[in-house]
Amino acid sequence: MSASRSVLLIIGGGIAAYKVLEVIRRLKDRGIAARCILTRAGEQFVTPLAVSSLAGERCFTDLFSLTDEADIGHIQLSRSTDLVVVAPATADLIAKMANGHADDLASTALLATDKRVLIAPAMNPRMWQHPATRRNMAQLERDGILVVGPNSGAMAERGENGPGRMAEPPEILAAIELALAGDKPGGQRAIGFLGRLPGGNHAAAGGALAGRHVLITSGPTHEPIDPVRYIANRSSGKQGHAIAAAAAAAGARVTLVSGPVSLPDPAGVETVHVESAREMLAAVEAALPADLAIFAAAVADWRVADAAPEKMKKDGGALRPLSLVENPDILATVAQRTGGRPGFVVGFAAETQNVIDYARAKLARKGCDLIVANDVGGTGVMGGDANTVHLVTPDGVETWPTLPKEEVASRLVAHLARQIAGKAE
Ligand SMILES: Cc1cc2nc3c(=O)[nH]c(=O)nc-3n(C[C@H](O)[C@H](O)[C@H](O)COP(=O)(O)O)c2cc1C
């Protein structure tokens, strides 16, 4: 395997095995090599030929194969990788892992590995909720196994609904990135735990940000005109809140400074509620120091110079003109601090034209380390559920495909965890 990162992918005997073919393809796109083990039951759902063709090398199926043992033994197979991934993780494989069985190649490799293990459970809701599976999952949690999914929804079996659907390939890929980012240089393991990613799904977290304080702003600000009226913008806070949840899932202590939004506070995150830009700056400064600061809020550039203390009346006359003054620039204020600047500062740029050019200029002007630029011109991004972002740094621009905001969040967190780990080296 020539790629710099690699996973050993164990494919169990569930109907969701076909989705794992997509995971193998996407791993290759990301430069992550996949070596595959297919269980005997797994072979009923996808063929070794399909798996080998996509992985670019033969897949392994048999514990007692003389040729395989001479070629690469089962112990080496389980260790010559950065991460072991089980998808679909059947009830049977989960039971074997929880009880230390080693009666086929998959379970033997899982018992013999010295690498972190991420599982993507997939099964009928009754099987998932059965006390035996609950016990086995609790054991895996104690063992530090990482988990992505399952999701809730309609099952392949007609009329069945509930938790047990395997996480979708993008969710599994994001979890793999998080788990790989959690490995410290030199092959030492970061703390593994069962966490939750945004979207209400059980999810994996590699502890990639364990021990870090991450400060995030989110949502719009409201700038008062009088006690009942204000100037606002269309930001929903969905992207910033998703990043806060993803950072918490990656093990960070997270402070979220949120403008007025109609979203619940993310679980496991300390959320500070503010209204105006000036309140937001004060809350941000109070939350420092931080290892990483991500300014995703859409802060109003201007406020009304002399907001009326009482409700303004029509009284048959014209409204007096509103005079506006500039708000403090939260991103520049924090990025340009001489003492107590966060180790890594990320700004967001919402633009309706010349997105990348404006973002480059903003990066230089504000003094931050990275700008996440997005085109909000008539695409429903503000308030919508998907986002197309460009990561702009002094070194260049990386453009991501249009993704659900939760996936943008988990990818961004994995990306930033790698940046921070790189800086620390
Ligand atoms: C059509 C069909 C679909 C199945 N889907 C699942 C599934 O999604 N999850 C699961 O835990 N078991 C499922 N099973 C049962 C497993 O295939 C069976 O428990 C098998 O022994 C698992 O082997 P493995 O864990 O070694 O892959 C299914 C069986 C059949 C016949």
Q: For domain 5-205, which architecture applies?
A: 3-Layer(aba) Sandwich (3.40)
Q: CA angle at residue 337 from 265 to 334, to 5 degrees?
A: 25
Query: How far apart (Å, rounded) are the C-alpha atoms in residues 200 and 22?
Result: 23
Residue 3 has pLDDT above 70, yes or no: no
Average of pLDDT values for 224-251? 91
Least confident among 47-56, 161-170, 210-219: 161-170
The protein residue with its alpha carbon nearest to ligand 1, atom 4, reads: 14
Looking up tokens 């494919």 gives 11
Residue 365 has pLDDT above 90, yes or no: yes
123 C-beta closer than 6 A to ligand 1? yes
Average of pLDDT values for 146-160? 76
Average pLDDT for the chain: 86
Higher pLDDT residue, 183 or 119?
Answer: 119
Catalytic (active-site) positions: 233
pLDDT digits (tens, 9 = 90+) for 284-324: 999 999 999 999 999 999 999 989 888 888 777 777 788 99
Confidence of residue 206 (pLDDT cuts 50, 70, 90): very low
Residue 30 has pLDDT above 70, yes or no: yes
Sequence-distant (≥ 6) Cβ neighbours of residue 301 within 8 angstroms: 326, 327
Average of pLDDT values for 107-116? 94
The protein residue with its alpha carbon nearest to ligand 1, atom 11, reads: 90
Higher pLDDT residue, 176 or 10?
Answer: 10
Report pLDDT for 343: 94
Q: For domain 213-424, which architecture applies?
A: 3-Layer(aba) Sandwich (3.40)
Q: CA angle at residue 150 from 149 to 151, to 5 degrees?
A: 100
How far from 307 is each of 41, 315, 320, 345, 373, CA to CA, in Å? 69, 18, 12, 32, 32
Choice from 90, 119, 136 to test ligand 1 binding pocket (greatest atom count within 8 A of CB): 90
Name the helix (H) or strand (E) containing 293: strand 292-295
Average of pLDDT values for 206-211? 74
Winning range, highest mean pLDDT, from 56-70, 79-93, 168-182:
79-93
Choice from 92, 101, 105, 129 to test ligand 1 binding pocket (greatest atom count within 8 A of CB): 92
Average of pLDDT values for 337-344? 93
Choice from 10, 15, 137 to test ligand 1 binding pocket (greatest atom count within 8 A of CB): 15
Residue 151 has pLDDT above 60, yes or no: yes
Average of pLDDT values for 216-240? 94
- 209 is annotated as contributing to ligand binding: no
Query: How far apart (Å, rounded) are the C-alpha atoms in residues 387 and 379?
Result: 9
Q: Where are the domains positioned within the chain?
A: 5-205, 213-424
Average of pLDDT values for 387-401? 91
- 104 is annotated as contributing to ligand binding: no
Report pLDDT for 379: 56
93 C-beta closer than 6 A to ligand 1? yes
Confidence of residue 188 (pLDDT cuts 50, 70, 90): very low
Least confident among 73-82, 147-156, 216-225: 147-156
How far from 55 is each of 22, 36, 63, 259, CA to CA, in Å? 11, 7, 20, 46
Confidence of residue 211 (pLDDT cuts 50, 70, 90): confident
Please tell me the pTM assigned to this model: 0.53
Confidence of residue 424 (pLDDT cuts 50, 70, 90): low
- 329 is annotated as contributing to ligand binding: yes
- 131 is annotated as contributing to ligand binding: no
Winning range, highest mean pLDDT, from 39-48, 162-171, 191-200, 381-390:
39-48
**Total length of the chain:** 425
Average of pLDDT values for 344-361? 90
Report pLDDT for 249: 81
Report pLDDT for 384: 79
220 C-beta closer than 6 A to ligand 1? no
Query: How far apart (Å, rounded) are the C-alpha atoms in residues 390 and 378?
Result: 17
Residue 156 has pLDDT above 80, yes or no: no
Number of H helices, E strands in the chain: 14, 23
Report pLDDT for 201: 33
Report pLDDT for 381: 60
Confidence of residue 74 (pLDDT cuts 50, 70, 90): confident
Confidence of residue 195 (pLDDT cuts 50, 70, 90): very low
Query: How far apart (Å, rounded) are the C-alpha atoms in residues 284 and 279?
Result: 9
